[in-house]
Structures are given as C-alpha cells and as structure tokens.
Structure 1
Amino acid sequence: MTNSTTHTRNLDQYGHAALPWSRAQDQLATETASADVPYFLNTVRPDGRPHSAGIGAVWFEDALYFVSGPGTRKSRNIAANPACTVSVRLTGLDLVLEGEAERVVDTAVLGRLAARYREAGWPAEVAGEAFTAPFTAPSGGPPPWYVYRLVLRGAHAVASREPYGATRWTFG
C-alpha cells in the first residue's frame, strides 16, 4: 500500500496546476465497485502481446484490489509477469495506475475485502486463500477466484472537469 508520492510531474500544457494525488484517491474510494465505473486490467502475454480485460475492482485501505480465476488469461499473464496497468474513467478524471499485481492470501485481509465486495453488491466469501460466490463476471472463470492487490508504482491522470490538468505521480 502506498499513498505518498515521491514525485509529481505536471503534464498540463495549458497552465493548470498539477493535480493532487488526493483527488484520485478520494474518487477511487467513492467510485469503485460500480457497474457504472469500468476498470480495465492490462497485462502482457508470454509472447509480448498486450492483453486487456474488464475487472471488478475496489479501492480499499489505500490500494486497488481485483479478482480473477486462476485459469484466466489475465491470471496466467500475471503469474508469468506481474507488471500491469489498470485504467479507469472516474467522474471527470481519466486515470491509469501502474505497478505489479500481487496475490493476496492473508485470510484477515481477504475477510475485510470480501465484506467490501458484499457492500458493493457482490456476495463474495473467503474460501481458503481465494473468493467464492454464486456468480461473477462472465470472464472471471470458475470459482475459486484469486484476489490481487496492485502494488502501485506510478499513475497518471487527465482531468476533464475543473480543476483541469494532467499529472503523473511516481510512488516510493
């Protein structure tokens, strides 16, 4: 988990100030786990070709979490190369998060995350070191589903609502 930036770079070419990371964090905290807020996980196949897939993600305890069946292309890609990005269009803010996907196996963390997903409408339950539920997205694969945390290394955003701006953040 990280919520402190080590470097902020203003990318705006129109004179707007750099966007604060807190804006992105606040919106991630309030706009995750909604059918109206699509998240896309971007991974790399073993042959180097990109792969993108929609995911159900939640921002929880200052980190982004998502689930995926162990046999899915995205999980197989992560197993071979955990580097990935997650893209999301929040209200007035297009955001790309960069880092590595790390599988979550701590049962206490899984329990808190399952509760968060249930609050959002998905009846997730902990099953060993994964989740199970009566249903998931069609691309999720069969249960159980692995839970991943994005270890955040960087992010960039473009604001389409005031205050406008474009910013890149690097995390330590």
Structure 2
Amino acid sequence: MQRVYSLLVDNNSGVLSRISGLFTRRGYNIDSITAGVTADPRFTRITIVSSGDEIILSQIEKQIAKLEDVIVVKVLKPEESVYRELILVKIRANAQQRSEIVSIADIFRAKIVDAERESLVIELTGTQSKLEAFLQLLDGYEILELARTGIAGLSRGIKDVTFIE
C-alpha cells in the first residue's frame, strides 16, 4: 500500500535531512520525496510518497508530526488531491525515428525541450500512470537518460488550507 504525505514545515536548514533521517532510523521506505519553498518563504512544502502496511503508514504520519519543524502533516487521498510528476527523457533518435517519437510526444502533450542531431530531450508532466504509459510507448527506442522529480501534490479545494500568521 502506498500513501502520499504533504508536509508544511519551517524553512530551516537541515529540515529535509531530519525528516529523511527519521525514515532511515526507523527503516521506513521513501518511494519519492520532493521539496520546495511555498508562496511564503518562511515555509517549505514537502511531499513524501511511502509504502508499507497500514500500521507502518500510520506510524510514519505520527512520527513525522512529532518533528520540531513540522507544522502540518496531511495525507493526500487520490480522490481529494491533485498529484503531478515531471519526467525528462533523452532518447536516441535518427532522422527516421524522430517523427515517430515526436508523434508519441504529441499524444501525451509532452514538449521537446532539446533537439540534437542524434537525440531528443522530452519533458512530460502528469500523473504517475500517464508517465508510465508514455515510457511504455517509448519501449522500442533507446532511452539514453531519464530523470523523474517524484510526486508533488496538493489537496483539492480550500477546506484543508493551513493559514499561518
């Protein structure tokens, strides 16, 4: 079972290290982690995807909430949240393959962000399932490099927004 946690934390040095250290010390798994400053530079939003059974996932939430710099921990349920991930893919592409690859990119509304004589770099943002489907269609091509950001997510609507003075 997988769970997505959205953390609002104080933007202090070492906060990400302390949070990831908690996972390391307790033997919890991090499937992905993203972090970035919010609209208010005093705070950072961290999105963590972790997996385990219900007991472990509940323990993770409780342990994170105990950390000093953590202001709010939310579990982002798929039906009540928006998740996105970014992927950059560098593909070997000769003249014949180039139009085929561009067609696949167009289907997914991906962007060609770099084109060289023998390769293309494609950027795609979306859900994990969209990115996986894109990669499956690229299966017959040589992927030279691949980078993924991990999930960033927010809850829908305004009911769960945390306002801090």
Q: TM-score, normalised by structure 1?
A: 0.28
Higher share in helix = 2
Q: Which has the higher contact order (CA 8 A, sep 6+)?
A: 1
Task: Please tell me whether Structure 1 or Structure 2 has the larger radius of gyration of its CA atoms.
Answer: 2
